[in-house]
């Protein structure tokens, strides 16, 4: 029974690593990394 839990835990760990590695990162100088209040020209 413990093998099933171990396998499920490893599958979740692998899935979380894949999601973390492929998640788009926002760079500091990226123009898409602006807050909505920075968009207004007043």
Reported as a single tens digit per residue, the pLDDT across 1-20 is 999 999 999 999 999 999 99
Q: What is the CA radius of gyration of the chain?
A: 19
Paired tokens of 23 = 């998640």
Global confidence as pTM:
0.57
Residue listed under structure tokens 């973390």: 20
Is residue 39's pLDDT more than 60? no
Q: Are 33 and 26 in contact (CB under 8 A)?
A: yes
pLDDT of residue 34: 65
Give how far Cα 4 sits from Cα of 7, 13, 15, 35, 37, Å: 5, 14, 16, 45, 50
Paired tokens of 22 = 């492929």
């Amino acid at each position: 029974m413990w093998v099933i839990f171990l396998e499920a835990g490893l599958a979740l760990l692998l899935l979380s690593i894949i999601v973390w590695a492929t998640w788009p990162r926002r760079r500091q100088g990226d123009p898409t990394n602006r807050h909505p209040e920075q968009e207004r020209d007043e």
